[in-house]
Amino acid sequence: MGDSHGSPKADGNPRWARRLNYLAGACVASSMSAATTFVPLYMKSLGSSYFVSGLPLGVRATGRFTFDAAALVTAGRGMSPQTMLVLGVAFAGAALLACGLFPSPYPVTAAFFFIGAGVAWVQISLRQIVFEGAESGRRGRAMGVLSLFLGSGPMVGIFLGGWVSEYFGYRSMFVVSALVVLWLPLVLMRLSPRRTEPEGGRNSLSLRVVREILSTPGAGLFCASSFFSLFYQPARSLALAFYATEALGLSVSSYGVVRGISQLGNVNGRFFGGLWTDRSGVIACMACGYFVSVAGYALVPWTGGFWSLLIVHTVIGAGAGMVNLAGQVGILSIFPSARRGQALALQRAVGDIGLFLGPIVVSAGLDAFGFFPVFMGLAGPPLAFGLWAVLQRPLPANDG
């Protein structure tokens, strides 16, 4: 997808732009993961209950849903993924800075709306840029490589976030997270090449378009899987944070180490899941990811310390990585280029509903029932969805 004239400058900029896109994804993922991991503990330190401590994660889901829904319109009207990426990074960085500057439950909760909004556009745009820049037959691998950057960012961010939070305070952690991403927008605007709009690239949003997307074979499964996989994210960033620090008595920095190292499971699940989708298809990868997740959640209540929690946490991350990667490759594979942005935005919007409900259900469950019933209950739905994926027919592929 380089410049047809082949000048050194034209050839160089796209290469640097691809590298910068990967770096931008790693930086945003690093800061966002640190923020979502430690905001429940930050809110608790401000005197909030379990339920209120989980509200920023629910509000983040509202922001994601709002901007994923907006992407259904903007992608259909020709906004380039590069523009969407720049705007998303700017929103996320400014909101992270606000969390550090205004240490009160209400401003922090409100800022997470814009964190979710920014990350929504970053993730939509990056995946479309990378998918369309890869050769047919190697797109799963390309998405897997992107996931290496998106997964390595949280490993560093969560580890350093725990260390900074323990020794310098949660406010400092949010300020550092903001600085990691606020330098990116101007550089992205300078180096990102212009994107040629595909023929027929403008599609106005209507209920008919949404129905056409959902009626495409496989789209319903990928959207429903997005709902449930995003529903489970709070179990990793909310329930496990309280379980590690309260039930197991780990320090905040020790929990940061667990989260950081266990991210290797998510990274490997996404990368090898990407290779698997190229060879065996997205359904096989997705089903296996769900069954791995079932085992991980069912084993959490039986962990008794740092190492056992680390192992189980890594298993959960591997399952989540496989499901997420398979769903992203799947939804992008079954639509032509002109419709991919809208299809991915719709899939994410459905998932955002799960992301909103997840922290509410998990935090309310912790208040009402405790850790054991919550984790055992979380093991049930992935089993059902894994069986649903196994029963799916082969899906059509669209390489246009």
Q: What secondary structure, in 3-state letters, does the chain show?
A: CCCCCCCHHHHHHHHHHHHHHHHHHHHHHHHHHHHHHHHHHHHHHCCCCHHHHHHHHHHHHHHHHHHHHHHHHHHHCCCCHHHHHHHHHHHHHHHHHHHHHCCCHHHHHHHHHHHHHHHHHHHHHHHHHHHHHCCCCCHHHHHHHHHHHHHHHHHHHHHHHHHHHHHHCHHHHHHHHHHHHHCHHHHHHHHCCCCCCCCCCCCCCCHHHHHHHHHCCCHHHHHHHHHHHHHCHHHHHHHHHHHHHHHCCCCHHHHHHHHHHHHHHHHHHHHHHHHHHHHHCHHHHHHHHHHHHHHHHHHHHHCCCHHHHHHHHHHHHHHHHHHHHHHHHHHHHCCCHHHHHHHHHHHHHHHHHHHHHHHHHHHHHHHHCCHHHHHHHHCHHHHHHHHHHHCCCCCCCCCC
Residue with tokens 């419709």: 339
Q: Residues 248, 252, 254, 256: is their CA dihedral positive or negative?
A: positive
The lowest-confidence range among 55-69, 231-245, 287-301 is: 231-245
Structure confidence by residue, pLDDT tens digits, 202-212: 555 556 767 77
pLDDT at 394: 59
Average pLDDT score over residue span 226-241: 76
Q: Return the pLDDT at 252.
A: 79
- pLDDT computed for residue 97 by the predictor: 93
Sole residue written with tokens 């667990």? 258
Q: Which residues contact 347 (CB under 8 A, 6 or more apart)?
A: 219, 222, 223, 226, 327, 331
Per-residue confidence (pLDDT) for residue 387, from 0 to 100: 85
Interval 224-238 mean pLDDT? 76
The pLDDT value given to residue 112? 92
pLDDT of residue 137: 63
- Give CA–CA dist 182/343, Å, rounded: 29
Q: 113: which residues sit within 8 A by CB, 6+ positions away?
A: 59, 60, 62, 63, 66, 95
Q: What is the pLDDT of residue 121?
A: 84
User: How far apart are alpha carbons 304 and 297 in whole angstroms?
Assistant: 14
Q: In whole angstroms, what is the distance from residue 93 CA to residue 111 CA?
A: 10
What integer pLDDT is reported at residue 193 of this predicted model? Answer: 54
pLDDT for 339 equals: 73
Lowest mean pLDDT among 1-5, 238-242, 388-392, 395-399: 1-5
pLDDT tens digit string along 72-107?
776 656 667 777 888 888 888 999 999 989 888 889
CA nearest neighbour of 275 among 312, 339, 314, 321: 321
Which residues lie closer than 8 Å to 5 by C-beta, 6 or more apart? Answer: none
The per-residue pLDDT for range 97-145, each reduced to its tens digit, is 999 898 888 899 999 999 988 888 888 888 777 777 666 666 677 777 7
Q: Which domains, ranges and CATH numbers included, belong to the chain?
A: 9-191+205-390 (1.20.1250.20)
Average pLDDT, the chain: 78
Query: If pLDDT is split at 50, 70 and 90, which confidence band does 8 have?
Result: very low
Radius of gyration of the chain (CA): 20
Q: Is the pLDDT of residue 267 over 70?
A: yes
Contact 73, 110 (CB under 8 A): no
pLDDT at 85: 82
The pLDDT, as a whole number, for residue 199 is 44
Q: Is the pLDDT of residue 196 over 60?
A: no
Q: Is the pLDDT of residue 163 over 60?
A: yes
Percent of the chain at pLDDT > 70 equals 82
Candidate ranges 46-50, 331-335, 362-366; pick with highest mean pLDDT: 362-366
Q: What distance in Å separates the CA atoms of residue 61 and residue 112, rounded to the nearest whole number?
A: 8
Do residues 274 and 76 make contact, with C-beta atoms less than 8 angstroms apart?
no
Phi and psi of 7, rounded to 5°? -70, 150
